[in-house]
Structure 1
Amino acid sequence: MQENKNKYYDIAERIYDLDGEVYECVGSSLGRTFTGDKRACVDNLVMLMRTKPQGHLLRSELALISNMARTIRKDEDRSRLMKKYDEILKEIAELPASFGKVEILDENRAKLNTANLRQKFSKDDHLIICIGRTQGSAGNDIGFALADALRINYYDAEIFNEVLRRLDAEKDSVTDVADLGTDLIENKYQGSGRTIKERLKDFDRYHGLTREDAIFFNQSDLICKMAKEEDFIVMGRCADVILANNHIPHISIFITAPFEQRVHRIMEVNDLDQKKAVRLLKKLDRQHARYYNYYTGQKWGDAMNYDICFNSASYGIEESVDIIERMLNQNTNS
């Protein structure tokens, strides 16, 4: 037990130190990922590593560091720090409560599949992969692992929140309600408990738009700006339709799995009983659908709206990443 505790703290301290080294090399005005007292930050990282339901938060913190490290201009420094990042990531993957540990693979279905995927993509365009997913299908784990395999940036709700906050945007104006599962989306469709005074204040702040609409347009502008500057993977936030409407090339993927398989995974990841897991899945899927349908005018999860749809239970996390990589390699070599 003590050995495991020491291991957690060793990794946490190395993550904190790596963040500092990356910041020094980049010299970015955006600042460090961890800005608080070292001991407090290390303690928080240890908690994230030991708590499975919070694994996505640790994944986001690591992605912020790696995204920044890839911008280092000096090849020697970039290579050295990315090597440290890879070593840390491998050690985290070996931890019992690591994100991506709970598989989605259905071995019986996997035996029936062969992959033959192709996607046209200009060499002059940035590689942008938009991933939509049902809750519990391991979509975020697949997206994060794919970004790491391709050596490109990864953006989820938490990272968007942090990036826009650092760009001096309103801290509460960047939350993707569909991805975080907050009650914000319910406020839009079911009414909120805010006072008339608060609503009038928001009306003035957002130039007549509702707060939720302002959030969406703020995120949309950032996604389009990023698409002209870098390769990346983006989770959710209607990015596929936003880019399509702005005539920006991208690959759109939708990941799902049988409901029973997703329930089983959520039960294990979040330590829930079956009844609570079923209720949570239905609620979050409903929120995702409402958000996507409202802002895009399209049906969330409809295969016609995506370049690729696949069942992660047929492949599992690692093979799903391999499938997408093979698709990209086929296009590059064709």
Structure 2
Amino acid sequence: MKTIITIGRQFGSAGREIGYKVAEDLGIKLYDKEMLDRAAKESGIAEELFETHDEKPTSSFLYSLVMDTYSLGYSTAYSDMPINYKIFLAQFDAIKKMAAEEPCILVGRCADYALADNENLLSVYIHASIEARTKRIARIYNLTEGKAKEMIHKTDKKRASYYNYYTNKKWGAAESYHACLNSSALGINGTVDAIKYLIDAKENCKDKSL
């Protein structure tokens, strides 16, 4: 297996749980907040700062800044950049290194964008009905359905803003990913099976130009 799977997910869609089940079935690693840990260790930036800035948006011109700086290397403008830019670049670099080491699953944090030029990438977006997500979040966090729905809207808004600012794509739009799966329609196990099917289809595809 060569495929690197990235998972974007609506809050409450069970995206992380699905990712862990796929990783367990395939015997590969899943990276979620572990991406922050590695980026912190390799960059020398305090881990607490990565937690503070995790999936939080900054400015829309970062796309070109990241590309220019990354292509030149950290030795140029990197040391003079604002801390949120440093954190994104360090995370960007950590994601690329993880994907280069072995097949794995990467959850959130614009991993699909960081690996856009990786021919082994399979980017998946997991969504679900607001009713299913509300019930799940209310149960997990012991909230009323009203509070759960409020938490969902706030978290999704943050994730969308982060993704849209740091990439040249739109969070949740079908064209931004290789596949979009509805976990409330397929169920958790059904979504796991669908992802494994997509991995097999990708690895068996003979014509990459299609």
Q: Give the TM-score range, shorter chain.
A: 0.7 to 0.9
Instruction: Tell me which moved more, 135-144 or 221-230.
Output: 221-230
Q: Give the deviation of 1:310 after TM superposition.
A: 1.1
Q: Structure 2 residue aligned with 1:258, among 108, 129, 132?
A: 129
Amino acid at match of 1:235: V
Contact 1:131 1:236 in 2 (8 A): yes
CA-to-aligned-CA distance 1:199-249 (integer Å, 9 cap, x gap):
xxxxxx9623221111111011111122222110000110111111x4453
Contact 2:31 2:106 in 1 (8 A): yes
Q: Give the deviation of 1:163 after TM superposition.
A: 2.8
Q: Structure 2 residue aligned with 1:325, among 191, 196, 199?
A: 196
Contact 2:36 2:91 in 1 (8 A): no
Corresponding residue SS for 2:30: strand
Distance 1:230 1:217 in 2: 21
Distance 1:285 1:209 in 2: 28
Corresponding residue SS for 2:12: coil
In structure 1, the partner of 2:50 is 174
Query: How is 1:75-154 mapped onto 2 (pairs within 5 angstroms)?
Result: 126-154=2-30
Give the root-mean-square deviation of aligned CA atoms.
2.2
Q: Structure 2: where are the runs of 5+ without partners?
A: 60-76, 206-210
Contact 1:130 1:234 in 2 (8 A): yes
State TM-score, norm by structure 2: 0.80
Distance 1:333 1:164 in 2: 33
Distance 1:237 1:287 in 2: 12
Q: Give the deviation of 1:328 after TM superposition.
A: 2.5
CA-to-aligned-CA distance 1:165-192 (integer Å, 9 cap, x gap):
44473223433622xxxxxx27x47xxx
Contact 1:129 1:252 in 2 (8 A): yes
Structure 1 pair 153/236, CA: closer, same or farther in 2 (3 Å)?
A: same
State TM-score, norm by structure 1: 0.52
Distance 1:331 1:160 in 2: 25
> Kindly, what percent of the aligned residue pairs are identical?
37
User: Larger relative contact order (C-alpha < 8 A, sep ≥ 6)?
Assistant: 2
Corresponding residue SS for 2:115: helix
Structure 1 pair 318/247, CA: closer, same or farther in 2 (3 Å)?
A: closer
How many residue pairs match? The answer is: 186
Contact 2:3 2:203 in 1 (8 A): no
Higher strand share: 2
Q: Give the deviation of 1:297 after TM superposition.
A: 2.3
